[in-house]
Structure 1
């Protein structure tokens, strides 16, 4: 354990060291780590630089600046890639039985966006679910994430048995090929997804979207960053479109952002 000391001077230096690191990373990569909750981010970063034998954020940035492989490893660790198919299945059942039928009643070519798609389980889940209503050839789902390594894994579509545990048997037989201990998504399902790198906090969004799924992403952001995202998501949706968030991301005042609650963790854009 590194003891930071108790003096105001030492605490000030530590804070300046961290703030300078954040500024350096933003200049080098365009990623603004200050938008993430500081206590969580500092813990993760401190653990990372200690494992590399560094004594400060400045020393760690020097390593990252000199070694592209180390920088890529750092970026991979900064993003949260915990995912599985049909994560929290009860909420997916609501999407299947209540939300999708309403959206499809007025439009059979839905514009769907998986924001913060991680390694792909979420957009593939949506595609399988939509295939119960419309042919695969009629599907086109945008899936974005900040982590290029995660996106590459998503494009490969190879998953462990644990990841596909909640996939219904019929879907598993229809959309996956089992190879040893792993399951590979078939090409027909892969073709329904467009994977793309996107920084939710810094880049513009598409518009006229019917369904945005952004689950277990915003819990890592500051309140100010969340406010910005909710407003951007609302602007991206069609009137009546839906934002589907994670089980720890309930919006307590949805009207503030132009939403109304359609079901738990589902928010409909208010039609003007």
Structure 2
């Protein structure tokens, strides 16, 4: 088997697609690259880079596969319930209005979940929820507000009836909820972060990054939160020394900015 030139490919991807692959965990990433490369019919990474450059469909397939997009509304429902409780009983008492960032938002299920919570409890947003992702294709899908039944498995009967309309075996989100979210392309590694936030939700993303990149992300998120703000991470993303980022643990996978 031909030795694959990952150094060339990482440099090419950063130069041409502005994605820093060397931030990802190496073994996991290389397995994914090999799989998607062979699906495209390439024998080498040089050949694969040529295919990505010349074919929009192969480029899209590569970006969709590398930037993992597995999500659903109220993912890990018990954790989301804890977060909703803190948001509605604690955070809402501290601040007159709430500024929210859903980082690496994928198809939009997460920021729309947050918008539904804010609407259901009649809580004021400082501005629309900012929802960001590195993948333009995924962001385009998120903006449609159209979801499959399995993506709504954690949505209550009340919320489903209140916020969705079933059309041709899909579920279309109410325009009122869609209008509460602004989608934007953003790279967690390369670009600056918004500031003076009351809530950051970044779940099931940092597990794919190397430790030093993960630590830098949490450091910058800590700096982006106002004192008393909350960071909500994924169900396998425990922050073991939150104090080094100016945070303290207040519930499972939920951290408060303390300084």
- Report the TM-score, using the length of structure 2 for normalisation: 0.96
Cα distance in 2 for residues equivalent to 1:203 and 1:49: 28
Could you tell me which residue of structure 2 aligns to residue 103 of structure 1?
A: 91
Could you tell me which residue of structure 2 aligns to residue 8 of structure 1?
A: none
Shift of 1:133: 2.2
The SS at the match of 2:132 is strand
Could you tell me which residue of structure 2 aligns to residue 112 of structure 1?
A: 100
Shift of 1:163: 1.0
Cα distance in 2 for residues equivalent to 1:209 and 1:130: 15
Query: For 1:194, which of 182, 185, 188 is the aligned residue?
Result: 182
Cα distance in 2 for residues equivalent to 1:99 and 1:177: 27
Cα distance in 2 for residues equivalent to 1:144 and 1:241: 19
Alignment of 1:8-157 (within 5 A): 14=4, 17-134=5-122, 140-157=128-145
Contact preservation (8 Å) 1:120, 1:155 = yes
- Listed as ranges, the gaps of 5+ residues in structure 2 are none
The SS at the match of 2:120 is coil
Shift of 1:136: 7.5
Contact preservation (8 Å) 1:136, 1:188 = no
Judged with a 3 Å threshold, the aligned counterparts in structure 2 of structure 1 residues 180 and 189 are, in CA distance, closer, same or farther, namely same
Q: CA RMSD for the aligned pairs?
A: 1.5
Cα distance in 1 for residues equivalent to 2:124 and 2:87: 19
The SS at the match of 1:119 is coil
Cα distance in 2 for residues equivalent to 1:254 and 1:174: 38
Query: For 2:206, which of 208, 211, 218 is the aligned residue?
Result: 218
Q: Deviations over 1:35-60 (max 9, x none)?
A: 01111110000011112221111111
Shift of 1:103: 1.0
Contact preservation (8 Å) 1:243, 1:267 = yes
Contact preservation (8 Å) 2:74, 2:110 = yes
Contact preservation (8 Å) 2:195, 2:225 = yes
The SS at the match of 1:210 is strand
Contact preservation (8 Å) 2:40, 2:58 = no
The SS at the match of 1:53 is coil
- Listed as ranges, the gaps of 5+ residues in structure 1 are 5-12
Cα distance in 1 for residues equivalent to 2:226 and 2:12: 38
- Report the TM-score, using the length of structure 1 for normalisation: 0.91
Cα distance in 1 for residues equivalent to 2:61 and 2:39: 13
Query: For 2:227, which of 239, 249, 262 is the aligned residue?
Result: 239
- Answer with 161-170 or 240-249: which moved more: 161-170
